[in-house]
Chains A and B, each alone.
Chain A
Amino acid sequence: MIEGTIKRTTKNMRKYKFLFEELVKRDFNQKYKRTVLGMAWSILSPLLHLLVMKMVFTRFFGRNAPHYTTYLFAGNIVMSFFKEATKNGMASLMKNSKIIQKINVPKYLFLLSRNVSALVNFMLTMLVFFLFCIIDKIQFGPRMLLLIYPVICLTIMNVGIGMILSALFVFFRDIQYLYEVFLTLLTYLSAIFYQVSRFPEKFQPLFLLNPVYVMIKYFRTICIDCIIPSPQYHLLCAFYALFYLAIGAWIYKRYNHEFVYYM
C-alpha cells in the first residue's frame, strides 16, 4: 500500500511539476513583492533580532557560555524557519480555497510550495549565520557539511506539521491564534537564549521531547562543540521528521475530500 502511494505521488509529481514551479514562483512574488528590500528584509530581520537578544541576554545568560553569539544565532534561525514554514503551511489551504473549490488539483502542492519558499529564505539566513560563525571564530571543518542533515529533517517535519495544521485550520479557524500562543511558549522552551545545563541533571532529557530544540542542539553541537552527534541522535531527528510527516499524510489521506465542504 505504501509502495502504491509513493508510486502515485511520484507520478503526480511529474504531472504537476509545471504547476508546482508556477506556485513557487507565485509564493515568492507574494513574499517579496518583487522588491530588492523584500529580499534583504528576510536577512535583516533575524539580524536585528539577534542584535537585541545579544545585547540583552549576554549579561544574564551568556557569561559562561562559549561562542554565545553563535549559540543565540543557531537557536534563532532554526526557530524562525520552523515558525515561518509552519505558519505559512497552516494558511496554505485556506488561502487557495477559491481554487480548491473550482479546480481539481492535489492540495498538498499548495503546502509544499509554501515550504519551498520558507526553505530558500532559511538558506539565505544560513549564509549570514556562517558569516557570524567566522566573526565568532568558530573552527570550520568538513563536519559543517553535516548541517544539511538537520535541515532536511526539519524541512520534512515542517511539511508534516504544516499538513496537520492546515487541515485543522480548515475545520477550526481559531487554530491560528492558538498556534500563535503555542509558538510563543515553544520559543521559551527551546533554550534559544539560556543554557539547558543550568537545569538539574534529571530534567535535562525532557528538552529532547521538543523537536525544534533537538534540531537546534544539532546545530550547536556541530558548530560550537566541534563534534558530530551520536548515531542515536541522528535517529531521533529522523524519528521526529517521519513521525510528523506520517501523521500529516494520514490526515490528508483521510480528510482530503472533506476540506472543500468547510471552505
Chain B
Amino acid sequence: MAIVQCDNVSIRYIKGDLKAIGLKEYVVRKLRGNYHIKEFWADRNVTFSLEKGDMLGIVGTNGAGKSTLLKAISGILLPVEGKVKVKGNIAALLELASGFDMDMTVRENTYLRGAMLGYTRDFLDEKYDEIIKFAELEKFQDYEFKQLSSGMKSRLAFSIACLVDPDIIILDEVLSVGDGAFRKKSGDKMKEILGRGITGMLVSHSATQVRELCNKMLWLDHGKQIAFTDEVELYMDAYEEFLVTRKLPENRSDIEKLAADFKVRKKRESENEDSVLRKMLMDAPDEDAVNTAIGYLREKHPEVLKKSYLNG
C-alpha cells in the first residue's frame, strides 16, 4: 500500500497584473476588457508513489517545480488537477526560518511554532529544553527574536521541526542550515530520523546527498516529469551530465547515453587530475611540491587523504 501517491498532479500559478493593480484598477481594466492574467503551470502531470521506508530525491534545475510539489503534498496548495493521497502525518521541513515573530522571545516563539506544527503543550513542555539545547540557544532563551543572528533563527527552526516523530518527512534544502558544526549535527539528526524507516522526500541541489540518501528519484524540469525511477545511480549520472550539456533526455537510450557520457567525462577529469598532480610532483620534486599536491587534494578530494594529513 502506497504511503504517498501522486496521480497526474498539476499545479497552476496565476501570474500577471492581479497582485499589483488593486481593486480600482481591476474594475477599470475589466470594464475596458484589457485585464489579462497569465497562467503558469508549476507542475504538470506528475505521477509517482512511495512505499513505506522509501526515500525520494527530487532533482531539477531552479524553477522545476520541486518546492511547489512538496507544498501540494504537505497540503498547503491544492492541485488544480490530479490527486495527492497521503497516509499518516507529515512533518514538512520547508525553509522555516521566516514567520517567527520578531518581538517575541525565543521561548514564546518556540511554543508558537510548536503549536503550528501540531504539537501539544505537554509535549512541548517536555521537549523544550531538548530543543533549546539542540539549537545551542541556552543563553538566549529570553532574548527577543530580532536580537538573534539569522543562523540562530534557522537553527531554532530546524530544532523545533525535527523533533517530531512523523510517518512522512519532507525536506526542502534544510540540510544546509547553520555553520559547519551545526550542519554536521543536523545531518546526523536527519540520518537518525531516516534510519527509523520513515518515508521521506528530499529536495537537494547536492547530487552526493541524493545518491547517498535516496532509493528513488524524481526528475522534474520546468514542471514536466522527466523520470521517476529507482535506478538512482544511473539517472543521477544522466542528471549530472544534463546539468552540463542542458540536453533533456527523451527516452531510455538518451538516459543511458547521458550516463555513459558522464562516466567518460568523470574519467577524463580524474585522468586530468592525475596528470596535474604528477606534473606538480615531477616539475619540482621537493617538499614544497608535495605540500602543494596535498593542498590540491585537500581542496578537491578530501576523502582520499588520511585524517592526519587533513588536520596537519
Contacts and interface: CB of A to CB of B under 8 A. Distances in A.
A binds B: yes
Interface of A: 15-16, 18-19, 21-23, 25-26, 29-30, 33, 96, 98-105, 168, 171-175, 178, 257, 260-262
B92 A22 contact: no
B213 interface: no
A262 B19 contact: yes
A22 B111 contact: yes
B22 interface: yes
B198 interface: no
B121 A18 contact: yes
Contacts of A18: 115, 119-121
A25 B109 CA distance: 11
Contacts of B116: 19, 99, 103, 105
Interface string B14-53: 1000110011111000000000000000000000000000
Nearest to A171: B18
Contact of A103 (B13, B76, B120): B76
B214 interface: no
A174 B23 CA distance: 6
Contacts of A261: 13-14, 77
The secondary structure that dominates the A interface is helix
12 contacts: A19-B115, A22-B108, A22-B111, A26-B112, A98-B98, A102-B94, A102-B99, A103-B99, A104-B75, A104-B92, A172-B23, A261-B14
Contacts of A22: 108, 111-112, 115
Contacts, number: 82
Contact of A33 (B103, B111, B121): B103
A19 B111 CA distance: 9
B74 A29 contact: no
B76 A104 contact: yes
Most buried by B among A33, A101, A171, A261: A261
B234 interface: no
**Top 9 closest A-B pairs, CB basis?**
A174-B22, A19-B115, A98-B99, A172-B23, A257-B78, A99-B99, A104-B75, A22-B115, A22-B112
B269 interface: no
B156 to A, nearest CB: 15
Interface in B74-99: 74-78, 92, 94-96, 98-99
Contact of A173 (B22, B77, B115, B119): B22
A104 B94 CA distance: 11
A168 B23 CA distance: 9
Contacts of B98: 98, 102
